[in-house]
Amino acid sequence: MQLANLSAVVTGGASGLGLACAQQLAARGVEVVIVDVSDEGGAQAALSLGGHVQFVRADVRDPAQVLAAIDAASERAPLRVLVHCAGVNLPVRPVERDGSAGSLEQFASIVQINLLGTFNCLRLAAARMAQNDPVDGDRGVCVLTSSIAAYEGQIGQIGYAASKAGVAGMTLVAARDLAKRQIRVCSIAPGIFDTPLLARVPDDIRSALGAAVPHPARLGAPAEFAQLALQILENPMLNGETIRLDGALRMAPR
């Protein structure tokens, strides 16, 4: 797909991986709608990126709010791209340290945001893309975000790992379902990336996390995630894949 005369919705676009994707798309002239629940962060990101970028506050679980963001993008140019980065990583265990049963509410909240939110954005964006005329053989492309935790979730990550495994599991099925509509779907499963979440971690722990990556032995850069997202958009044979982006890291139990 040529990144011209089209719009994109980028969820979680106010910071981290989503912001990097919005930056690179806008730099290519794509009309970008950033979706986030942070009013301040979203507005600041849109302002810093210039006229190609608009912020629409939306919770990815809310169909009406997501549809409003899709409408905003469609008003700027035909919607052909979804990059879905919104998500949370909250700790929960089957049995907590004090011996109590793990929080069902916490587990459900993670799954609601990470998995149901992904499907909600995917279904609404794909329905809009299906109305497009094909260009370069595609009506649209959806890039989702899984995680290497889908394969090697660590202690305390049962909700996060389950939800991200769900994203990986839906990717091929979604690609097959949407093939007849000429819409491609891929997911990226990042390893340890230098996002605002890790910015709050002490430097010695950040260094240890980076050193655990075989090569390159460092944290991933959000721009590298965005680079892969754009390569998925532009390469017509990338479809139905969940691509690990982790420097050959395989996570230990803790």
Active-site positions?
Answer: 160
Give the helix/strand (H/E) hosting 66: helix 63-76
The DSSP element (H or E) to which 56 belongs, if any, is strand 53-57
d(CA 203, CA 194): 12
- The pair of three-digit structure tokens given for residue 143, joined into one six-digit string: 């890039």
Q: How many CB atoms lie within 10 A of CB 113?
A: 20
Residues whose CB is less than 8 angstroms from the CB of residue 209 and which lie 6 or more positions away in sequence, other chains included: 192, 198, 201, 219
CA–CA dist 57, 214 (Å, integer): 38
